[in-house]
Chain A
Amino acid sequence: MEYGTIEREIHVDASPEVVFEVVSSPEHLKEWWPDEAELEPKAGAAGRVVFHRDAPEEALVVPVMVVDAQPPQRFSFRWGHEAGTVPGPSNSLLVTFDLEPSGKGTRVRMTETGFREQGWEAAVLEQAYQEHGEGWDYFIPRLGAYVARLVSSA
Chain B
Amino acid sequence: MSVNPLSTPKDSSLWQPNRSLNKLVEAGVKAIFATFAFISVATTIGIVLTLIFETVSFFEKVPIGRFLTETQWTPLFANQQFGIMVLLSATLLTSAIAIAVALPVGLLIAVCLSEYAPAGLRKWLKPALEILAGVPTVVFGYFALLTVTPFLQTFIPGLQGFNALSAGIVLGISIIPLVASLSEDAIYAVPQSLRNGSYALGATKRETIVSVVLPAALSGIVASFILSISRAIGETMIVTIAAGQNPRLGFNPLVPVQTMTAYIVQVSQGDTPAGSLAYNTIFAVGMTLFLITLALNIFSYWFVRRFREKYE
The answer to whether A and B come from one shared complex is no
What is A's interface to B at a CB cutoff of 8 Å? none
Residues of B within 8 A of A (CB): none
